Amino acid sequence: VQLQASGGGLVQAGDSLRLSCTGSRDTLANYQVGWFRQDPGTGREFVAVISSSGRATEYTDSVKGRFTISRDNAKNTVYLQMNNLKPEDTAVYLCAADKTTLDYGLGHTHYEFGHWGQGTQVTVSS
């Protein structure tokens, strides 16, 4: 599967953004999909993951209550709704996919995902 991330931008603290990750060449419904973020000088940080069915989701602690991951398999798209954005959320956001239909044992590390999109920049000003 090929992934295309979009929806990033420059916003102020407290604003919202919705990122999209659209799949092509294969149906995304067969994949768990994760969002990661990366800024210069740091590694790739796990943000959220959703199972192929959408029944299971997990988040890193710093975004719980603010970010929501969801998917529309009919549109071959996974979303990351980001509310109450903070300057520390500034990063390049990347989506990644792993071909599994399990609703447990979701991936939290970058090496568990074999397919990556190109990333979209999110910048939050204070």
- If phi > 0 it is left, if psi is from -120 to 50 it is alpha, else beta; for residue 47 that is alpha
Cα 67 from Cα 99, distance rounded (Å): 24
Quick: pLDDT tens for 32-64: 999 999 988 788 999 999 999 999 999 999 999
Which pLDDT belongs to residue 69? 98
Chunked into runs of 10 residues, the chain (126 residues) has average pLDDT values of: 97 98 94 94 92 96 98 97 97 96 91 94 96
Which pLDDT belongs to residue 124? 97
Pair 94, 116: CB distance under 8 Å: yes
Amino acid (1-letter code) at residue 96: A
